[in-house]
Structure 1
Amino acid sequence: MSETAATIEEAAPPPPPRPPPPSYSSASLRLASLILRIFTFLLLLISLIVLCTNTVDVYLQKLRFQDIYAYRYMLSTIVIGTAYSLLQLALSIHNVVSGQDGILLLDFFGDKLISYLLASGTGAGFAITVDTKRLTDADPLFDMIDIREFYDKAYASASLLLLAFCCTAMLSIISSYTLPKKV
């Protein structure tokens, strides 16, 4: 019996070698992270400027973004995202220059948390803009006021926040890929 088992083993060809998985160098991932963090910071900064300068005269009063709670929440998410982005940008520059991987757990959990926060701010900004725009478009009293510019700026700020969320979501994917390789 041992002779038959030996002949069967000799007759079966070895399986073909598997191709190696695609390798992404950690240097290219660090550079991609740095570029995405720069884009995120710039998008959040521009979104912050657009939102903070959003005012319109309504009869004898000014309508400002602070008067609407959802825009305040959007502002909070932008400010928190900008602060985190600035911190991570400095750490990313250090990582690219030094060739180190940095604090992987901060990248992993921070990118996930901030991406969810930015997504919720985007949703709040778009939702309140759509609702209030629909209400004011139905009322003929608002035809005399140039309130459309107010909503256009709110849309622009929310759109920039959405793009910043997309960059942070990509960073979250990169940190999810990098963490298991190093830990």
Structure 2
Amino acid sequence: MAPPPSTAVPPLVGLLVRIVTLVCLLVSIVVLVTTSYTDTTGDEVSKLKFSDFYAYRYLLSASVVGLAYSFLQTALTVLLVTTGNRIGADSMLLFDFYADKVISYVVATGAAAGFGLSVDLKRLLNAVDTSELNTFLHKAEAAASLCLLAFVLTALSSIFSSLSLPKRVQ
């Protein structure tokens, strides 16, 4: 009788998912950090930055944590693809399995916080119709959207790590 087919995902597919996750989180961070709004009504000049809001700071923190983890996993996956084996491969399977899940939840909550604040601010500032303020909110939403895409990709990586787990643990 033939052995059952392998359910493990090819390392190159895992590498591609990790790289796209890394890029999404990096672009999300850059967009969020460069988001600002300057109001020059009358003699008073006020500047609004992403760091003035706790939810956007949490979005940044979640993106940075996700970026650091994605960078580590991308480097380890590159090592796996180029050499054919990974440092401590058997002992790292459980780490990959659980860490992918934890990081995906952190990234998802960061995206949710960013979207939630953007929606609330749009509703509150509906009476104030300035294109610069809308640009500020659209950039913040773009950063949250990229973070959400990174969550989906990290969740996909989590599925890949769970598929490779039973094969190695036997």
Scaled by the length of structure 2, the TM-score of the pair is: 0.89
Superposed CA offset, 1:67-96 (max 9, x none): 010000000000000011111111000111
2:116 is aligned with what amino acid?
A: A
Q: Which residue of 2 aligns with 1:12?
A: none
Distance in 2, matches of 1:50 and 1:63, equals 15
Q: Which has the higher contact order (CA 8 A, sep 6+)?
A: 2
2:12 corresponds to 1:23? no
2:107 corresponds to 1:118? yes
Identity of aligned residues (%): 48
Q: Which moved more, 1:102-111 or 1:154-163?
A: 102-111
Q: Which residue of 1 aligns with 2:49?
A: 64
Q: Which residue of 2 aligns with 1:51?
A: 32
Superposed CA offset, 1:4-35 (max 9, x none): xxxxxxxxxxxxx8x864434x5x52111111
Distance in 1, matches of 2:130 and 2:94, equals 54
Deviation at 1:100, TM superposition (A): 2.1
2:80 corresponds to 1:91? no
- Residue from 135, 142, 148 that aligns with 1:149: 135
Partner SS, residue 100 of structure 1:
coil
Unaligned runs of 5+ in 1: 1-16
Unaligned runs of 5+ in 2: none
Q: Which residue of 1 aligns with 2:154?
A: 168
Q: Which residue of 1 aligns with 2:13?
A: 32
Structure number with bigger Rg: 1
Distance in 2, matches of 1:111 and 1:144, equals 41
Scaled by the length of structure 1, the TM-score of the pair is: 0.82
Distance in 2, matches of 1:133 and 1:21, equals 54
TM-aligned CA distance change 1:171 to 1:69, over 3 Å: same
Q: Which residue of 2 aligns with 1:11?
A: none
1:121 is aligned with what amino acid?
A: G
Distance in 1, matches of 2:135 and 2:155, equals 30
Q: Which residue of 2 aligns with 1:129?
A: 118
